[in-house]
A and B are shown apart, each in its own frame.
Chain A
Amino acid sequence: MIEEKKIATRESFGKALSELKDENIVVLDADLDSSTKTDLFKEKHPERFIEVGIAEADMIGTAAGLATCKKIPFVSTFAAFATGRCYDQIRTSIAYPNLNVKICGTHAGITVGEDGATHQMLEDINLMRGLPNMTVISTSDDVQTKKMVKEIAKMNGPVYLRLSRLKTSVIYEDDVDFEIGKAVQIGEGIDATVFATGVTVAESLKAQEELLKQGIDIRVVDVHTIKPIDREMIIKCAKETGILFSVEDHNIIGGLGTAISEVLIEEHPKKLIRLGIDDKFGMSGRAEDLMNHFGINSKNIVEIIKEKLHK
C-alpha cells in the first residue's frame, strides 16, 4: 500500500466521469447525483446530463433509447435500485439488444452502513452476471476505478460497474494499467490465494501483511472483472498455492466465490472457502463494524486462513 489516503470508489467514479472527453457520453441520474457523484459531470456538462427523477426503470429505458442513437449513456444510482429495481428493464431493453449502456451502481454491499438492509445491495453481482452480453466490474480503489471508467467508456456493450460508499485505501500507483477481464495478482505467496473484489481487496492486503509477519505468505488476487472472469489466473493460482479463499461484500450465493467455483469445478477441482454475506440481508451499523460482524475484514481473513492452514 503506497499511502494511507482513503477515497470511496464512488468519488473516483464521479471525478473520472466528469473528465471523459467523448462528447457522445451522456449521464443519467435518478435524484441521487450528490451521492453517486455524477454531480461533478452535471456541473461540467449540464447539456449532457439527464435527471429523470426517482424513476429508475425509466432511466434504464431512456438510456437504452439514447444508446440506439449512438450516445454512450452512463446511468447511476444506488446499486440496489440500479440492478434490483429495474432488472427486467436491463434485461429486455439493454442486455438482450446488447446496447452500449454503462450501469453504475454506487453504495453496493453492507459497507453502505447505517441505511441498513434495503440499501445494502448484496445480490447485484448475481443478477448482472446472469445476463448474457453483460460485463461485470467491481473496482477496488481510486486508481483502478478511474482507469476502468475510461476503459468501459471505450468498449462497446453493456457494463455493470459496482462501486462503494466506504472510503478505502488507495492500493495502486498512478501508472498501473488495468485490462477488462484480467485480474491483478498481488504478491507471489504460495501458502494460500485470497481472491477479492471491491472493498475487500484492501482488507485482504492488510491480512496479507499481517500474515507475512507471522510467517504465512499468501497472494491476493484483485478480481476487478467478475464477468468475463479471468479463468487463467484462477487455474494458475489453484495450481500454485494452497487453500483458496474468496472474500466479497456480497451474498456468497452468486457472487465472486460462485464465479471462481464454476471455473475450478470445470478446470481444476480444488477446495475454495467463500467469505462473504452468508445468504442473509444486511443491517444498520457502522461499515467497519458490519464488515467485522459479517466476517469480511482483515482480522477475519487472518483468522480463517490461520485456522484452515492449522497454524
Chain B
Amino acid sequence: MKITKVEALEEKANKIRQDIIQAIYYGKSGHPGGSLSCADILAVLYFNEMNINPQKPDDLSRDRFVLSKGHASAALYSALAEREYYSKDDLITFRHIDSPFQGHPDMNKVPGVDMTTGSLGQGLSVANGMALASKMDKMGYRVYCLLGDGEIEEGQIWEAAMTSAKYKLDNLCVIVDCNGLQLTGKTEDIKNLGLEDIEYKFKSFGFHTKIIDGHNIEQIMDGFSEAEQTKGVPTAIIAKTIKGKGISFMENDPAWHGKALNDEEYKEALEELNTIKKNEKDINKN
C-alpha cells in the first residue's frame, strides 16, 4: 500500500524523536522534553515546507529557520540529520568536547543551522532581520521562527513582534511550541501564558494567528499553507504540544526539561518509539 504524505511525515517525526533520544543519551545531557514537543513541527518544516537544499546549506535564496528556543538543539540536529545535511551517526558526539553539536546551536559549526541561539528571547528579532533582507533583495524566501511558550516571557520577543508587524513581514511565520511547561512549572502559573492568552497577545501585536494541534501533521501543514497565503501581516501559529511527546514516562513531566536518560530509560524510550512505528504500519495495512 502506498503511504500518504502525512504518513511519511509521521514516520520522519518518529525518526527525529529516535535521534533526539539517542543524541541526549550519548550526550549524557540535553533537553528531551522541549525537543520532543517540537519534533512533528520540525518534520513538516524540513520535509515538506521549507525550500532548502542540503547540498547547498548556504544558498542565499533558501528559506530560513531560527530555533529561538535553542535548548531544543537535539531536535534541530536530528531533523537536519534525517534531511541528510550530515550522517545521523555524527549525533553521538552531541554536547561532547570539540563536537560541532554544541549544547545550543552554533551556525558556524553545523551545516543547515541558520542562526546561533541559546539565550532565550532573541530569535524573533533575528528572524525579522532575515525576513527584511528577503524583502529588500526581493528574494522571496520565507523565514520560520520557533519560540517556546515559556520563552515569550522575555521582553525582546514583544519588541520584535512590533517590528514584524510594522514591516508587514508576511514572509515570516512564527510557531509557538506551547507545551505548557517550563523549567520550574506550568507557563500558566508562572506568567499567565495559556494557549488563548498567547494567541490573544500575538493577535493584538498585529499577527494573523491560528491555534493548531502541534502533533497533528495535517494541522501543521494547513497552518503553514495558511501562513503562506496570508498577505500584509506576519503569522503566528500557536501549536498546542505535549512536553516529552512520544515517550510515555516523559510526557507532561517538567522533570524531563533538561536531563539525560539512563540505560534502562533509553532502551524503554526507543522501544516505545519503535512500537508506535509498528502500530502505525499495522494500521496502514488494515
Contact = CB atoms under 8 A, between A and B. Distances in A.
Contact of A92 (B116, B127, B163): B116
Interface in A7-36: 26
A309 B160 CA distance: 56
B174 to A, nearest CB: 14
A64 interface: yes
Contacts of A97: 106-108, 115-116
B116 A65 contact: no
Nearest to B119: A92
B108 A71 contact: no
B116 A61 contact: no
Give the bracket for the number of chain B residues in contact with chain A.
35 or more
Contact of B129 (A48, A55, A65, A92): A65
Nearest to A98: B108
A47 B135 CA distance: 11
Nearest to B143: A65
Contacts of A163: none
Contact of A64 (B106, B118, B126, B155): B126
A130 interface: no
Contact of A89 (B60, B64, B122, B162): B122
Nearest to A96: B116
Given A65-B115, A68-B114, A93-B126, A58 B136 contact: no
B130 interface: yes
A66 interface: yes
**For chain B, what secondary structure do more than half of its interface residues adopt (helix, strand, loop), or is it mixed?**
helix
B129 A66 contact: yes
Nearest to B113: A97
A67 interface: yes
Given A52-B159, A58-B160, A68 B130 contact: yes
B171 to A, nearest CB: 12
A70 interface: yes
Contacts of B166: 53
A186 to B, nearest CB: 40
A52 B164 CA distance: 10
Contacts of B123: 61
Interface string B158-201: 01101100110000000000000000000000000000000000
B118 A57 contact: no
B132 A66 contact: yes
A53 to B, nearest CB: 7
Nearest to B127: A65
B130 A92 contact: no
Contacts of B127: 65
Interface in B120-171: 122-134, 136-137, 155-156, 159-160, 162-163, 166-167
Interface string A59-75: 11111111111110100
A88 interface: yes
B147 to A, nearest CB: 13
A184 B130 CA distance: 39
B215 to A, nearest CB: 29
A53 B164 CA distance: 12
Contact of A58 (B64, B125, B130, B134): B125
Nearest to B114: A68
Contact of A69 (B106, B116, B124, B133): B133
Contacts of A57: 122, 125, 155-156, 159
A277 B127 CA distance: 40
A273 interface: no
A50 interface: yes
A65 B132 contact: yes
A50 to B, nearest CB: 7
A264 to B, nearest CB: 34
A67 B116 CA distance: 12
A88 B119 contact: yes
A253 B109 CA distance: 35
A53 B162 contact: yes
B129 A69 contact: yes
B127 to A, nearest CB: 6
A71 B122 CA distance: 19
B117 interface: yes
A70 B141 CA distance: 14
Contacts of A66: 129-130, 132-133
Given A58-B156, A62-B160, 9 more contacts: A55-B162, A57-B155, A58-B160, A62-B163, A65-B133, A68-B64, A68-B126, A69-B134, A96-B116
Interface of A: 26, 47-48, 50, 52-53, 55, 57-71, 73, 88-89, 91-93, 96-98
26 contacts: A47-B136, A48-B136, A53-B162, A57-B159, A58-B125, A58-B156, A58-B159, A61-B122, A61-B126, A61-B128, A62-B126, A64-B129, A65-B115, A65-B130, A66-B132, A68-B114, A68-B126, A69-B129, A69-B130, A70-B60, A70-B133, A71-B136, A73-B129, A89-B156, A92-B117, A97-B116
The 8 closest A-B pairs by CB, nearest first: A65-B129, A61-B125, A69-B133, A58-B159, A55-B159, A65-B126, A97-B116, A66-B129
